Structure formats: C-alpha cells, structure tokens
C-alpha cells in the first residue's frame, strides 16, 4: 500500500489517502467510531449531570432494603419482608421458568407444524398453513391478552371448580393440584431414576460400539425407557408409594394447600409458545425442503426405511440450516416474555423493573439491571446454540 | 468508579432526556404552554372527554396554574403517564408540573427529589368487592385474590395490611387500571384495591355499579397532591400558592362567577383584596403579576366548585367531601393564608 502511494508523488497526501480504497475505509471507520463514541459520551455525561443537578446519585443500596410487596408466584421462599434483591431473583426465576417451558413447547409444536406443512395431505397442509399465517401476523401481546381473557372468563370460579377426581381442581384462579411431600424411601426411587439415566448413557454407547463392530442392532430406545422410567415406577409401587400428597381444599375464597399453576403463567406460556412455534414451523419447513430429494432417493436405494432416512439423512443436514434462525426465535421468545406485566405475571420487568422501581424510584439502576439480565440470558442462549450448531455441523473430509 | 458509572448510565440512556433545571417559569412562558403530567385516564380526576378535551379535578389544577402563569387555562399540554413513568417524565424536564393523584411520601420527596405542593385530596386505600360475596369487612378477606394496579404505593399498603392482620391473599399485579378492571369484572379477582377515590371512579364505570360495594376499611393515608422537581423554588412557590389560592377562594366565597366583579375594585375584605391584587401586589413575590389568582379562579372556579363539578356527590363518581371539606366545615382542608 505504501508503495502504491509513493508511486504517485504528484498528488497531495489527503487525496492520495482518500483515493486509496483500503485507507479510505479505515478513515471512514475511524470517523464513524469517533462519532458514535462522542454521541454516547455526550449522552452519558448529560444523564449524569442531570441526575447530579437534581441531587440524585447512582446507588445499588436499595437492593438490600425490604421489598414490602408480595408476589403471587414464587419458586423460592419469599415474603414482603424479603429484600428487593430476593424479589429480583423471584422475577428472574419466573422469567426463566416461562422461557424454558416456552422454548420446549415452541420447539415441539414448531417441528410438528413444519412437518405438517410438508405433508402431501391437502387438508393437513392447508390447516397448518392457515394456522401459521394467522398466528404470526397478529402481535403476540394480543395473543397473550386473548388467551388470558379466555382462561379467566371460560373457566369457573373456585366454588364451581371443575373437579378432577377430587384431587385436582380447574378454576379461573388457577389449576390446583396436589403437592408431594417425600418420605425417606422415596429417595431410593429417585436414586434408581438417576442410576437409570447413567445406565442409558452407557448403554447407548455400548450399543453403538456393538453395531459398529458386528452390525447387531439393539432396541436402544425401549431398553433405556425401561431403565429410566419403568424400573423407578415399579420400585415406587413395591416400596408402597412413599409420597404423601397434600390435596387442595376449598376454603373461603380460594383453594388452599397443594400446588397451583396460575392462569397468568399458562396464558403467557401457551401464547408465547404457539406464537413462536409458527415461526419455527416455517424455519423447519425451509430446512427440510432445502435437502435435495436425491438424497432421500439415494438413501432409499440403500434399503433404509422411511424413518431412518429422515433420522439419518434428512434431519441431520436440515438441522444445519434450521439451528441459526431457531436461535433467533429462542431469543425472541425469551425477550417477549417481558410482556408478562400486561396480565400480571411477575417476571423481571414486573418485579425489579416494576414494583421495585416504583417504590424506590431508582429507575436508572433498575432498568440497567433489567437490561443486563436480558442481555445475559440472550448471550447464554446464543452461546449454547452456537455450541450446538458447531457440534452438528457437517463433518468435511 | 466514574467509568463504571458511565457504563451503567449509558445502558439506561433512553430514560433521560435533556433537562432545563432552573427558571421553569421563564421556560414555560417562552414556550407559551404548560406541560402538565396527568394519568392515562381516571374518570373524574383526569380523562379526555368525548371531544378529546382533558377534564377532571386534577386537570383543573393544571389549568389554574396555566391561567396564573400564561393567562389562559387552555394553554396546557397534558402528558399522560403510567404510575411507573410519571416521576421520570417530571424529573427529566419533559413535564413542568405533576397533578396525577400522587401520594406524598418521604421517599418520594427526599429520594426522588420531588417537592410536593399542598394536598389537594385526602385519600386512603380501600377495597371494592362484589356484594354477592357477603363480605362486610376487609378483615374477612383471608385467602382472597386481589387485583392491584402496579406502579403505585398500593402494593406496599396491601402487603402491610394483610401482614398486620395475619391473613393471606393472592396479589394479581396489573400494569394499567383498565386491564385491572377487566380482570376484576372477569372474576379473576375477588377484590379490587386502589385509593378510595379511584375505587369510586372505577365503580361508576362498571356495568352494574350497585352490584359492588366499597368496604369501610381505609387501610392507608394517601395525601394526594401535585409535585414539581427539586431545585426551582420560585416554580414550587407558584404551584403551592395557586393550590392555596383555590382553597382560600372557597373559604372566602370567591367563585368563578363573582371573581371578576370582586377583582374590579377593592372591597371590604382585605384577605380578598390581597388575593385578587386590588390592595397589594402579591403576585410579584413569585414572579407573576397582580391578577394571577383572579385568572386561576376564573379558569376553573374555587376548590369546591371544581370538586363538585368533577367528583362531587352529584357526579357519576359521587364522592362526599368528607375529609376534604374546609376546616370550618369539619374537614381538614386548611390552606395557608395569602398575605
């Protein structure tokens, strides 16, 4: 580059630099970076000086103060005497709960929709098509409000609850189910369950090895199912059902005791899942369609069954195309869960970014915390999906 | 430390706008419009009518300040805010003054850096419940599902009340009043709770108001008032004395109808003369002219007139004066004298 510049001594240095494609791009980048930096510097200074001029400082001390408000759904011990920090943890867990359940359901429904969209059956195909187009073209907030409205209005009040065998009760205040309390013998069952998981991991590897060496094929799925589910279930009954169930009872306004799944959680979970599933369905369809038909034909020519063609040839290649956009959908679902406040589900935005913010007036700090939390979740999901994407990528030889 | 602070603030940039701190009066007069922070809609207190014109008890105080400062009660831009955004809007300078059924508390005054104007409505948190449930006292609410509008002091009072009485409840905290009412009328909750004035307003808007009762317990003190930012004492004084003027006007019998006549020449009552600027120029003390109070009263009437027009017994809202009667009528409304 220096040589090129030196070979044109007749032009001045600015135009020489500017006319050189690479230097020009560096200059533009420096200017752009400086402008962005200056902008943010100005904004931050402005914010700080404004806060100073009304005498507000930035401090996180409020997190250790008592929160003085209650939260209806909490996965950990929490009361109005807990700290704002603990309220935040409750919010984080509630967000994660709906995100994790949402991702699982959205993936299942999404893959199903994708496959249905590829179906040769006209009716199935069109039904999936109509569903996808309807769901993904309506804002997700409306889905959430609609679903919550349906649950609240369609289900009966606690005194007329839908009684499921005197143990579980469906009301518009929630789905009340018995909660377990474990006796010592139960831990034997739990131990067997964990052992079953380890066994099945070992067994899958062993079966693989045997197949590679001899071509013998074990029914791995059924054997593992028996080890993980069958044996613990058998043990549970042999040991005389070592769990005591606390059955919810109608007392006053509501059912007491047992566990409850709140309509807010259900509405948010289902709405987010079904909404995201519509997008995932299209991604899955695109991924599978992208695998040329010749591959399936070739696999069929080798004598593989239809199921095995899908499992061994089509899906592994389709996944490479599906995973990156799927990651975006998982991120969307997690972030969309912040709409929870509209129906009163106490997530991060409703706890630390809502009641805490309002009671302490620390909007700058609270919103920064909320922002960093979502950023962290999103980066974690991305890095996990990128790791998975690398793992399943086509091995090139 | 400076650097980490900057990084933290950068992340929350979007919350802060450019502010103009001192000399709010000059800013407002230069702009020719008062930016008044109100609710997104509480019938009787602040809500747009069918023509889109903001009406209500809180709105009247905005108009009175605009009339005193700008000479015209119509020169107000109303900024609707949720419980969560109101203080940010005020503190950032987007709003000049706030009248949004806002409870004065120590933390808001000292920590949020607000200066509260005199109380314009003495309120307290109450409960509304369906008559058919047969509940007559809030102490019988053990186990009830309670709908709350978040972003208020309500959550704290509620938690305190149930804790003191050692009874349980399920809080359903909802972002807006409208969604909260939808959930209450959809029977998601047994009880709806907010300030008693808000309950009356909410109840009036329900399909069948007579099917709901407001329980006798008032579980908190909610002195509602306007507020301005810390740091501009002149502007604070203007807000404070406009509110005091409206209350004093009722005490002195000055009404929207007779204010101009009383202000045309000095009368026998020195208190009236001082307030209406016929005997001395009180307005100059806060940077206004002598007619400031005349315009404010002309625009909205005195405290009692505004009360009766928007939330009094003859309106849909139907609130009694109660605590909000003048001190000489058995209430606790007692404004500092203008002299």
- Quote the minimal CA–CA distance from B39 to chain A in Å: 15
**Helices and strands per DSSP (H, E), number in chain B:** 13, 12
- Quote the minimal CA–CA distance from B40 to chain A in Å: 15
- The fold adopted by the segment(s) A84-178+261-391 is MetI-like fold (1.10.3720)
- Residues paired with B192 in a beta bridge: B128, B147
State which H helix or E strand residue A97 sits in.
Answer: helix A84-117
Query: Which one of A50, A51, A340, A350 makes the best mutation probe of the B interface by having the most chain B beta carbons within 10 Å?
Result: A50
- Compute the half-sphere exposure of residue B35: CA atoms within 13 Å on the CB side of its CA: 19
Residue whose C-alpha is closest to residue B192's, from A313, B209, B118, A200 = B209
What are the φ and ψ backbone dihedral angles of B100, each rounded to 5 degrees?
A: -145, 65
CA distance B59 to B310: 10
- Quote the minimal CA–CA distance from A254 to chain B in Å: 6
- Residues paired with A164 in a beta bridge: A168
State which H helix or E strand residue A164 sits in.
Answer: strand A162-164
Measured CA to CA in angstroms, residue B298 lies from A90, B256, B338 at distances of 53, 5, 18
CA distance B241 to B256: 18
Q: What's chain B's average pLDDT?
A: 88
- Residues paired with B212 in a beta bridge: B130
State which H helix or E strand residue A104 sits in.
Answer: helix A84-117
Residue whose C-alpha is closest to residue B194's, from B125, B266, B242, B270 = B125
User: Which residues from chain B sit within 8 angstroms of residue A48, using beta carbons?
Assistant: 5-6, 9
Cα dihedral: B154, B160, B163, B168 (round 10): 0
Place of tokens 């005591």: A244
Distant-in-sequence, close-in-space partners of A205: CB < 8 Å, separation ≥ 6: none
Q: Are B323 and B332 in contact (CB under 8 A)?
A: yes
| Cβ-defined contact of A358 to B231 (cutoff 8 Å) | no
User: Which residues from chain B sit within 8 angstroms of residue A160, using beta carbons?
Assistant: none
Low-confidence ranges of chain B (pLDDT < 70): 1-22, 151
The ranges assigned to domains in chain A are: 2-53, 84-178+261-391, 181-246
Q: Are B58 and B117 in contact (CB under 8 A)?
A: no
Q: Are A371 and A309 in contact (CB under 8 A)?
A: no
Q: Are B191 and B141 in contact (CB under 8 A)?
A: yes
Written as six digits, the tokens of B189 are: 């909750």
Residue whose C-alpha is closest to residue B14's, from A356, A53, A364, A348 = A364
Q: Are A175 and A261 in contact (CB under 8 A)?
A: yes
Q: Write down the pLDDT at residue A397.
A: 62
Distant-in-sequence, close-in-space partners of A328: CB < 8 Å, separation ≥ 6: none
Q: Are A256 and A173 in contact (CB under 8 A)?
A: no
Written as six digits, the tokens of B310 are: 């928007």
- Compute the half-sphere exposure of residue B332: CA atoms within 13 Å on the CB side of its CA: 8
| Cβ-defined contact of B9 to A253 (cutoff 8 Å) | no
Q: Write down the pLDDT at residue A290.
A: 92
Query: Which one of A259, A346, A363 makes the best mutation probe of the B interface by having the most chain B beta carbons within 10 Å?
Result: A363
Neighbour-count burial of B21, counting CB atoms closer than 10 A to its CB (0-12 exposed, 13-18 middle, 19+ buried):
middle
| Cβ-defined contact of A357 to B173 (cutoff 8 Å) | no
Which domains are seen in chain B, by residue range?
21-123+223-329 (3.40.190.10), 125-220 (3.40.190.10)
Interface membership of A68 toward B (CB under 8 Å): yes
Q: Are B120 and B226 in contact (CB under 8 A)?
A: yes
Residue B284 per-residue DSSP state = G
User: Which residues from chain A sit within 8 angstroms of residue B9, using beta carbons?
Assistant: 44, 47-48, 51, 58, 364, 368
- Quote the minimal CA–CA distance from B118 to chain A in Å: 21
Distant-in-sequence, close-in-space partners of A154: CB < 8 Å, separation ≥ 6: A172
| Cβ-defined contact of A55 to B113 (cutoff 8 Å) | yes
User: How does pLDDT run along chain A (397 residues), one tens digit per residue?
Assistant: 455 555 555 567 878 888 888 888 898 999 999 999 999 999 888 887 877 776 777 788 889 999 889 998 888 899 888 999 999 999 999 999 999 999 999 999 999 999 899 888 999 999 999 999 999 999 999 999 999 999 999 998 888 888 888 888 999 888 998 888 888 888 888 899 999 999 999 988 998 898 888 888 888 888 888 888 888 888 888 888 778 888 888 888 888 888 889 999 999 999 999 999 999 999 999 999 999 889 989 999 999 988 888 888 888 889 889 999 999 999 999 999 999 988 889 999 999 988 898 888 788 889 999 999 999 999 999 999 999 988 887 766 6
Written as six digits, the tokens of B169 are: 């409840």
Full-model pTM: 0.78
Q: Write down the pLDDT at residue A216.
A: 83
**DSSP, residue by residue, A343-383:** TT---TTTIIIIIIHHHH--HHHHHHHHHHHHHHHHHHHHH
Q: Which of A46, A58, A263 sits opposite B18 (nearest CB)?
A: A46
- Residues paired with B333 in a beta bridge: B326
Instruction: Name the 3-class secondary structure at B28.
Output: helix
CA distance A15 to A24: 10
């Amino acid at each position: 580059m220096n040589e090129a510049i030196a070979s044109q001594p007749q032009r001045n240095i600015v135009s020489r630099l500017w006319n050189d494609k690479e230097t020009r791009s560096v200059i533009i980048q420096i200017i752009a970076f400086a402008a962005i930096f200056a902008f943010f510097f100005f904004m931050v200074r402005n914010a700080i000086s404004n806060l100073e001029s009304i005498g507000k400082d930035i401090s996180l001390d409020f997190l250790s103060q008592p929160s003085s408000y209650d939260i209806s759904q909490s996965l950990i011990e929490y009361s109005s005497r807990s700290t704002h920090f603990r309220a935040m943890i409750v919010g984080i867990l509630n967000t994660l709960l709906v995100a994790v359940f949402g991702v699982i359901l959205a993936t299942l429904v999404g893959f199903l929709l994708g496959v249905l969209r590829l179906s040769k059956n006209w009716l199935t195909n069109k039904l999936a098509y109509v569903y996808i187009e309807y769901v993904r073209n309506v804002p997700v907030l409306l889905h959430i409000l609609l679903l919550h409205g349906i649950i609240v209005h369609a289900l009966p009040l606690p005194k007329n609850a839908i009684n499921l065998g005197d143990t579980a009760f469906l009301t518009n205040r929630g789905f009340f189910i018995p909660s377990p309390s474990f006796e010592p013998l139960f831990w034997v069952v739990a131990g067997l369950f964990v052992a079953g998981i380890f066994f099945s991991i070992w067994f899958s590897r062993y079966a693989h090895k045997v197949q590679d060496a001899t071509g013998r094929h074990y029914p791995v799925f059924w054997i593992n199912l028996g080890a993980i589910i069958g044996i613990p279930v058998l043990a549970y009954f042999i040991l005389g059902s070592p769990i005591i169930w606390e059955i919810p009872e109608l007392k006053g306004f509501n059912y007491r005791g047992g566990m409850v799944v709140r309509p807010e959680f259900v509405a948010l979970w289902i709405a987010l899942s079904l909404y995201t599933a519509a997008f995932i369905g299209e991604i899955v369809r695109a991924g599978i369609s992208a695998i040329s038909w010749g591959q399936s034909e070739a696999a069929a020519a080798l004598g593989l069954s239809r199921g095995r063609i899908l499992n061994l040839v089509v899906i592994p290649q389709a996944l490479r195309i599906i995973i990156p956009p799927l990651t975006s959908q998982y991120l969307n679902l997690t972030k969309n869960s912040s709409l929870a406040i509209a129906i009163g589900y106490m997530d991060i935005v409703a706890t630390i970014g809502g009641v805490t913010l309002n009671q302490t007036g620390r909007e700058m700090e609270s919103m920064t915390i909320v922002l960093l939390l979502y950023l962290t979740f999103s980066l974690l999901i991305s890095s996990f999906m990128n790791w998975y994407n690398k793992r399943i990528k086509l091995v090139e030889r | 430390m400076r650097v980490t602070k900057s990084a933290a603030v950068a992340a929350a940039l979007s919350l802060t706008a450019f502010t103009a701190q001192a000399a709010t009066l000059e800013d407002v007069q230069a702009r020719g419009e008062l930016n008044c922070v109100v609710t997104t809609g509480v019938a009787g207190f602040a809500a747009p009518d069918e023509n889109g014109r903001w009406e209500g008890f809180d709105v009247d105080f905005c108009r009175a300040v605009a009339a005193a400062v700008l000479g015209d009660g119509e020169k107000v831009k109303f900024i609707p805010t949720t419980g969560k955004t109101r203080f940010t809007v005020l503190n950032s300078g987007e709003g000049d003054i706030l009248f949004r059924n806002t409870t004065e508390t120590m933390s808001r005054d000292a920590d949020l850096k607000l200066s509260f104007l005199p109380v314009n409505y003495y309120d307290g948190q109450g409960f509304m419940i369906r008559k058919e449930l047969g509940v007559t006292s809030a102490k019988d609410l053990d186990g009830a599902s309670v709908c709350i509008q978040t972003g208020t002091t309500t959550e704290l009072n509620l938690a305190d009340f149930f804790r003191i009485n050692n009874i349980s409840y399920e809080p359903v905290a909802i972002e807006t009043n409208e969604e909260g009412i939808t959930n209450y009328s959809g029977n998601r909750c047994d009880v709806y709770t907010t300030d008693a004035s808000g309950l009356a307003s909410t109840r009036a808007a329900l399909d069948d108001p007579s099917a709901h009762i407001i329980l006798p317990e008032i579980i908190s003190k909610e002195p509602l008032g306007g507020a301005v930012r810390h740091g501009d004492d002149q502007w604070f004084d203007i807000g404070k004395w406009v509110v005091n003027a409206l209350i004093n006007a009722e005490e002195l019998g000055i009404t929207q109808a007779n204010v101009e006549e009383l202000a045309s020449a000095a009368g026998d009552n020195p208190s009236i003369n001082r307030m209406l600027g016929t005997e001395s120029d009180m307005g100059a003390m806060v940077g206004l002219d002598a007619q400031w109070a005349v315009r404010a009263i002309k625009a909205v009437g005195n405290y009692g007139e505004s009360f009766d027009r928007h939330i009094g017994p003859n309106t849909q809202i139907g609130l009694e004066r109660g605590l909000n009667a003048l001190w000489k009528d058995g209430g606790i409304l007692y404004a500092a004298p203008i002299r």
